Amino acid sequence: METLVTRYGIARVEGDELAIVDLPYPDLSALLNSGGTLDEVAKAAVTRRLPKSQLDDVAVAPLSLSTTAVWGVGLNYHGKAALTGRPVPTSPILFLKPSSALTTHRASLPIPAGLTEQFDYEAEVGIVLGRALVDADPEDVWDAVAGIIAANDTTARDVMKATGTPVLAKGFPGCAPFGPTVLPLADVEDPNAIPVASWVDGEQRQESSTADLIFDVPDLLARLSRYARLEPGDVVLTGTPPGTGQDRGDYLRPGQQVTIAVGGLTPLVNTIS
């Protein structure tokens, strides 16, 4: 079941209700860093119940926005590579996001004034680590995964073209939102084919699944773990499928609403400002 953090504490979604549970952690990052698992949320005693309709009003960041390391990867969908005509990479194009870029569901996403005219959305599946991963083999990766989260890896395309640096194009303050909930891996219907889609003002722009990844989740995380220690609560973004503004020649404008849907998670929604 979906797990989230509210201003009243950690909670789980039970049908039409949010069940606040008796756990002493400020967020899911703290739970995972303590050696705990999301299974504890499913088993914990309930202290309070709220209607699920109040989720947007009570939910806060499910993971720590100050301590979570967020890794991203460029050009990791076969469909995206085919559409752009770029060759399929032989190794992942990896980058690390600054923590100042992270923000939440329903937060306004500001277009960096004077720096870009090509601010773009990227629907992505985020993989949340449940335990540390170092120099891992692909077959060991899923055992270290706690769950999945929805993400929008917004990108200033013109900045990317001018600098060739993903961190500069994707690291603007408050421009990288996470969804409000985490879905435990045990509840993911097919970890090798996680659906991902996006809409802008209700018009669908992207639709694919991680079955189309160039570097699948076990391969991607194993490769990354050779160079960096992945910690509990860290997130690895898996790339975006075709259908972005770059593909359409139609970039984001103030007032538009972007919705990202991943697997069985509550959709991530943000408005551009």
Given a cut of 90, is residue 237 above it in pLDDT?
Answer: yes
| Mean pLDDT computed over 255-259 | 98
Given a cut of 90, is residue 86 above it in pLDDT?
Answer: no
Q: Dihedral, CA atoms, 26, 28, 32, 33, nearest 10 degrees? A: -40
User: In whole angstroms, what is the distance from residue 47 CA to residue 32 CA?
Assistant: 21
Round the average pLDDT of the chain to a whole number and report it. 96
What local confidence, expressed as pLDDT, does residue 259 receive? 98
What local confidence, expressed as pLDDT, does residue 85 receive? 83
pLDDT-based confidence at residue 60 (cuts at 50, 70, 90): very high
Q: Are 138 and 66 in contact (CB under 8 A)?
A: no
Residue given tokens 């395309």 in the structure block? 157
Q: Dihedral, CA atoms, 183, 184, 186, 192, nearest 10 degrees? A: 60
What local confidence, expressed as pLDDT, does residue 170 receive? 96
Domain boundaries, the chain: 3-60, 70-272
What local confidence, expressed as pLDDT, does residue 204 receive? 98
Enter the CATH code of domain 70-272: 3.90.850.10
| Mean pLDDT computed over 29-56 | 97
Structure tokens at 165: 């640096």
pLDDT-based confidence at residue 83 (cuts at 50, 70, 90): confident
For residue range 135-175, list pLDDT tens digits in order.
999 999 999 999 999 999 999 999 999 999 999 999 999 99
pLDDT-based confidence at residue 203 (cuts at 50, 70, 90): very high
User: In whole angstroms, what is the distance from residue 46 CA to residue 18 CA?
Assistant: 10
What local confidence, expressed as pLDDT, does residue 5 receive? 98
pLDDT-based confidence at residue 81 (cuts at 50, 70, 90): confident
User: In whole angstroms, what is the distance from residue 8 CA to residue 237 CA?
Assistant: 28
Q: Are 102 and 60 in contact (CB under 8 A)?
A: no
User: In whole angstroms, what is the distance from residue 33 CA to residue 66 CA?
Assistant: 14
pLDDT-based confidence at residue 24 (cuts at 50, 70, 90): very high
What local confidence, expressed as pLDDT, does residue 84 receive? 80
